[in-house]
Structure 1
C-alpha cells in the first residue's frame, strides 16, 4: 500500500495517515487514490478529533511523479483530494520530517496545522521543470505567508528550511519530535486554525513584484513557467480562491505539455540517470577525504577550491616555490571571492584554509586517495607527473587526468597499473561549473570509475561518463557551436553581437565571452 491509515489503538480520537511510497513518497495515482480512500475512512469514522498525516522519518513527500506528465491526468486529481482534506470537518495535521516539495508542500498547505522537525525543507520547484504548481501552491502559499515571500519561493523554485518556514508563517511549530508535538496540540489550537484557502487575499506588493520581474529577466530568459507563475501569484491579490485554483490548474495542464516542460523533464531524468550508471551499481567506490591536485593554475586552483569546499583535505603540488606561492594566492582569492558573494561563511573559511596546503614535493601525495593532474596539455608532461605520483602513492589510489582532448589510453599505457587511471574533466571555472566528464579508458577499473562518480556527488557536480575521443562530449559539442559562431564572424558580425544574440536567447554567456574566460585573450 502506498498510503496506510488506521485509528489509533491508544487514543480513538486520533486517526493516522501515512505516506508509504519510497524512496521519496512521490504523489502518483496510487498515492492520490490512497489519500482519497483515507479521507473516506475519516468521514466514516465517528468520534475523531484529529488526523495525523505523516511521511517517513526522512521525507514527507517530494512532489508529483513527473513520469505521469506525458499521459492524460487520471482521477482522483490532486486538487480535488486536497480540497477534501482542507474542508474536512476533522482537522488534518501535517507532521513533516525531511522534505515537503512540490505536491508534497501543496499537501501540507491543505492541512489545518503544520508541525515540522528542525531539518525539514519546503519548496515549490515546479518552475525548474517548466511548469507551475498544479494543486493550489500558487493560491494557498501567498495567502499563508504573504505575497513577497510566496513569489520568491515559487518563481525561484528554491527550498527553505524549517526555521525560515516558521519565521514566514509557513509552519506552526518546530519540534524534534513532531509526532508527539502534533498529539499534544490542543483542540483550541485546531479549532482556531483556519483552512488556508479561506484566508484573506494578500496585498499586492509592487516593489516585490518589480524586483522579481527584474531578476527573472536576468536569470530566466525565454522561460515561460516563471512568468506564468508570477501571473498566478498576482491573481491572489484580487481573485477569489476558486477562480484562482481554476486558473492555476488550466495553466499547469497547458504548460506540462509544452516543449519547454518536455525538454526540462528529459533533462531531469537524464541527469538523474547519469549520476548512477547501471553498469557501476555493484562496485564499491572509495571514500575520498584526502586529495592532491598537481598544478595550481586557473583550472587547478578551481579544482582544489571545489575539493576543500567539500571538506576534502587537499594539497596542490607545484614545480617550484614561486609557482607554489602563486597557487596559494589563487586559492586565497577564490575563498575571498566566495565570502564576498555570500557563498562562504566565516566558520567555513577557517575550515577550508585548515585543510588546504601547497607543496613542491610529490611525497606530500603519499596519503591521498586520489590525485588529479591539472598541468598543461602536453602528453609527455602528464606521463611524467603520473609516473612520479605512482612512486609515492598507495597502489590502490586513483589517478585522474583533467585533460580536455588528450588520449588517456596513451597515458595509462605508460603506468605500472593502467586500471587506476580515469579522466576527470572539469570545466572552467571548475569550482562553479556543474558538469564533470568522467572519462573511461580502455583499462579503467570499475572501482576507479565508481569512485569518480562518488567524488562528483561530494563536489555537487553532475557527472557524465565519456569515452576516449577527441574533446570527449562537451568540447565536441562546443566545437560545432564555435564553428557556427566563427562563420557569423566571417560574414561580418562582431563578437559582441554574437554574444548578445546568444544571451538574449537564454545562454548565460556568449561563445566569445566564454572563450575569454577560458584564456582566449
Structure 2
C-alpha cells in the first residue's frame, strides 16, 4: 500500500497518510508529501489541501525504524517539509485524530489551519529522548498557545488532550474542535473548512505571529530544568525562549543548532537506547503473533504480605477481578487494614479519583480459602522465599485450579523448574517476578522454565501488558536477571566495607554518579532479612556462592532495615542516618579479618559497582538467561533505579570500551580478598 494516498473532493486535494502503526514521518513519506505539495501548488484546479492520517494517528513523529540511519535526516527532512508548507500559496489544513506528537505536531503547526478531535493527544515529547523539537516546534508552538504553556509542556515532554489546549484563551492552535470520534467527522470538518477558506488571503502562518515574553514562566521553567542531570530540558527552555526574543528564522536556526548538539550527546544516546530496549523486549523467540494466548480475566494471589498485596493492587487498578488468599487471620486483618489505607492515600494524593478507587476496591476480595481460586485464570504464589513452602503452595494450587489455568510464582531467586515439577501441568508454570512496590514499579520479569509452553509465555506477556507492566523474559537461573546481578553488586559493596569504606560513602559515590539509591539504602528499604533468608536457603541447597558474614551479623542483631528502624543506617521514619552501631560492627569485622582500612576514592567505588553489574550481565548473556543486552539494561532502568540517561549497565560497559574495561578487570582481580575469577573475561 502507498504511504500517501490522494483523492479529491471538488477543488480540495486530500492527502491521506498511511504508514502504520503511527504514521511515522519516514524519508519515503516525507518525499511523497513534498511531491504532493509541489503538485498541488502547480495544479490550477486545486484550491486547498487537507492532510489527514485516519482515526488512530495524524502522525506520531519520526519513524523510529529510521533512527540512527542516514535516511532519518536525508532531504527532504522535516524542517524542509515544514518550510515548504510555509511557502504554499494555497491553504493547507491538518485534520488531526488520535495523536499528533513530535514531528507530527510540527507538521501540523506548519499547516495554515488545524481541525482536531477533542480527545486527540498532543505533545512534543522529544525531551524524553534527550532531544528538543527540531522542525520548528519550539518556535511555532509558543506562537500558537503562548509562552507559559509551551514552557510547561515542551521541557517536560508532556502530552495533553486537544480539548485542554483548545480551552486556552486566545489560542491559535486549533481552528475547529470536533467532539465526535471516528466516522470521518474530523475529515469532513476539515474539508468543509478548506472549502470555506480556499479564497481567503493572506494565509495565516504561525511563523508570522508574535509571542509575548513571560518572565515569570521563564524563571519557573529555568529553575525546574537547571537542576536536572541531563541537558535536554534546559536546552528546550532556551529554545522556546527564542520564540519571544528572536525573529522567526533566527529562532529556527538556534533550535536546529540545539537539536544537532543534543543528537550527539551521550545522554541522548542512552535515552534512545532505552527507548529501543523497551520495544525490543517484547520480541521473544517462540512467541509469534499467531501464538495462542489464554485470556486472563480473573487472578488469584496466594499470600497477603507486602508483595501479595502489591500484586493484587496492580491487578485491581488495571480493572481485573482479583482474590487475595491469606489463611492466617491476623495477617488477613493486617492486609485489609493496609489495603484500606492505600485506597485512602491514593485519593488524598490525587492519584486516583474516589470513583476509580471504589471501583478498584470492589474488584478485590480477601479470603482465607485457597479453594476460592478454583475458577481463576491465573494463580500467583507470593509467599516467603522458602522452597518447601512454595512447593507446598504449588501442589495445592495445582489441585484446585481449573485445567487451563496458569500457575505463577513471584519468587525472586528460586528454581522455577523445581516448582513446576510438583505440579501436573509444568507447561503452564512460569515465574512472574514483580518488583516492590508491585503496584507502582513498571518492570515484570517473566521467567520461562524448561517446560513452559509458548502459549503460557505469550499469555503471561499479554497479562503483563494488561496491567501496565513492561515485561522482560528471563531464563530459569538463580536470581534470574535482576537479582543475580544485584548479588554481585552487593558483594562488591560489602568488599568495599571490608577495605575501609562506610555504607554512606559507598551510597553517596554511586548516587552522585546517577543511581537513585545506593546499595546499602536499597537493601535497607527492601529488607535485609529478605536477602538473609535467601542466603540461608542457598546454604541449605548447597548453592551459596560466597558467605557474607558481615551482612549475616547485621541481621542477627535484628537490623533488618527501614521497617525495623535500623539496618546499615539508623532510621527516623524514612530518613537514613549513619549508625554508630554499624560502624562498630564493621570495625570489629575488619579486625577479625586482619585487614587494615585503606582510603578508597569515589571513582573506584563507582567502577567496582558498575562493572560488577555489567560483567555478571555478560555471563547471563553467555548462558542464555537473558535474551539480549538491552533486556538487561531495561531490568536495571525499570527495576533498580538505574538512570535512563545513563542507558543501563551493559550500555555503560560498551560506552567505556574494551580496553578501559580490561584494565579495570585486571586491577580489581588483584585485590587480595576479591574474587579474581569473577573479573575474568567470559569465554
Q: TM-score range by the shorter chain?
A: over 0.9
Q: TM-score, normalised by structure 1?
A: 0.94
Aligned residue in 2 for 1:173: 176
Structure 2 CA distance for aligned equivalents of residues 488 and 241 of structure 1: 56
TM-score normalised according to structure 2 size: 0.72
Distance 2:416 2:226 in 1: 42
Asked if 2 retains the 8 angstrom alpha-carbon contact of 1:292 and 1:315, the reply is yes
Report what 2:29 is aligned to.
Answer: 31
> Helix, strand or coil: the match of 2:155?
helix
Verify the 8 A CA contact 2:299 2:379 in the aligned structure 1. Answer: yes
What is aligned with 2:521? 513
Partner SS, residue 456 of structure 1: helix
* Cα deviation 1:201-234 (Å, max 9, x = unaligned): 331343x33433444466xx42121121111112
Residue of structure 2 equivalent to 1:90: 90
Residue 310 of structure 2 is aligned with which of 302, 312, 315?
Answer: 302
Could you say which residue in structure 1 is the equivalent of 2:204?
194
User: In the alignment, what sits opposite 1:204?
Assistant: 214
1:3-24 CA-partner distances (Å, limit 9, x unpaired): 223432xx2x211111111121
Task: Please name the residue that 1:428 is paired with.
Answer: 436
Matched, 1:399 2:407: yes
1: CA distance, partners of 2:512 / 2:142: 31
Aligned to 1:55: 53
Checking the alignment, whether the CA contact within 8 Å between 1:62 and 1:100 is kept in structure 2 is yes
Counterpart-to-counterpart distance in 2, 1:402 and 1:349: 25
Q: Distance in 1 between matches of 2:199 and 2:527?
A: 62
Q: How many pairs were matched up?
A: 515
Tell me the equivalent position of 2:419.
411
Q: Distance in 2 between matches of 1:188 and 1:54?
A: 17
Mapped to 2, the partners of 1:193 and 1:519 lie a distance apart of: 65
Give yes or no for contact 2:91–2:198 (8 Å, CA) kept in 1.
no
- Partner Cα separation in structure 1 for residue 471 and residue 491 of structure 2: 26
Distance in 1 between residues matched to 2:297 and 2:314, nearest whole Å: 13
Q: Unpaired runs of 5+ in structure 1?
A: none
Shift in Å, 1:25: 0.8
In structure 2, C-alpha distance between the alignment counterparts of 1:210 and 1:380, rounded to whole Å: 60
1:350 paired with 2:358, answer yes
CA contact (8 A) 2:48 2:198 kept: no
Secondary structure at 1:59's aligned position in 2?
coil
Indicate if the aligned counterparts of 2:119 and 2:161 stay in contact, CA closer than 8 A: yes
Distance between the aligned counterparts of 1:189 and 1:450, measured in 2? 56
Pick closer, same or farther for the CA change 1:506–1:216 going to 2, 3 Å.
Answer: farther
In structure 2, the partner of 1:288 is 296
Cα drift, residue 190 of structure 1: 6.3
DSSP 3-state at the match of 1:61: coil
1:338: Cα distance to partner? 2.1
Alpha-carbon shift at residue 150 of structure 1 (Å): 1.0
Structure 1 Cα separation of the partners of residues 378 and 212 of structure 2: 54
Report what 2:99 is aligned to.
Answer: 99
Q: CA deviation at 1:278?
A: 4.5
Q: In the alignment, is the contact (CA less than 8 A) between 2:27 and 2:74 conserved in 1? A: yes
Equivalence for 1:385:
393
Q: 1:377 to 1:192 in 2, by over 3 A?
A: farther
Cα distance in 1 for residues equivalent to 2:513 and 2:190: 49
Q: Alpha-carbon deviations, 1:240-291, whole Å to 9, x = none?
A: 1101111111222232232222222222122112124242113122221210
* Residue 43 (structure 1) shift: 0.7
**Could you report, residue by residue, the CA deviation over 1:140-163 in whole angstroms, capped at 9, with x for unpaired residues?**
111111122112221111211122
Is 2:265 aligned against 1:262? no
Distance 2:140 2:38 in 1: 24
In the alignment, the residues of structure 1 paired with residue 322 and residue 516 of structure 2 have an alpha-carbon distance, to the nearest angstrom, of 31
Distance 1:275 1:101, change over 3 A: same
Q: Does the C-alpha gap of structure 1 residues 277 and 158 become closer, same or farther in structure 2, counting only changes over 3 Å?
A: farther
What are the Cα deviations for residues 351-373 of structure 1, in whole angstroms up to 9, with x where unaligned? Answer: 11111110010111011100111
Distance 1:512 1:352 in 2: 35
Match of 2:239 in 1: 232
| Residue 419 (structure 1) shift | 0.9
Deviations 1:481-513 (A, max 9, x none): 323433444444443444344333333333233
Q: Are residues 410 and 316 of structure 1, via their aligned partners in 2, closer, same or farther at CA, if it must alter by over 3 Å?
A: same
Distance 1:166 1:32 in 2: 28
1:144 maps onto 2:144 in alignment: yes
Task: State the secondary structure of the residue aligned to 2:167.
Answer: helix
Residues 314 and 357, structure 1, Cα contact 8 Å, conserved in 2: yes
Q: Which runs of 5+ in 2 are unaligned?
A: 529-560, 562-683
Q: 1:131 maps to which residue? A: 131
Q: CA RMSD in A?
A: 2.0
Shift of 1:478: 2.0
Check conservation: 1:94, 1:113, Cα contact below 8 A: yes
- The residue that corresponds to 2:675 in the other structure is none
How far apart are residue 385 of structure 1 and its match?
0.9
Cα distance in 2 for residues equivalent to 1:214 and 1:478:
35
Query: Compared with structure 1, are the counterparts of its residues 56 and 89 closer, same or farther at alpha carbon in structure 2 (3 Å cutoff)?
Result: same
Equivalent residue of 2:476, what SS?
coil
CA contact (8 A) 1:112 1:190 kept: no
Counterpart of 2:210 in 1: which secondary structure? coil
Cα distance in structure 2, aligned partners of 1:422 and 1:189: 65
Q: Which secondary structure does the structure 1 equivalent of 2:436 belong to?
A: coil
Aligned-residue offset at 1:345: 1.0
CA contact (8 A) 2:47 2:198 kept: no
Distance in 1 between the 2:161 and 2:174 partners? 11
Equivalent of 1:223 in 221, 224, 230: 230
SS in 2 for 1:507: coil
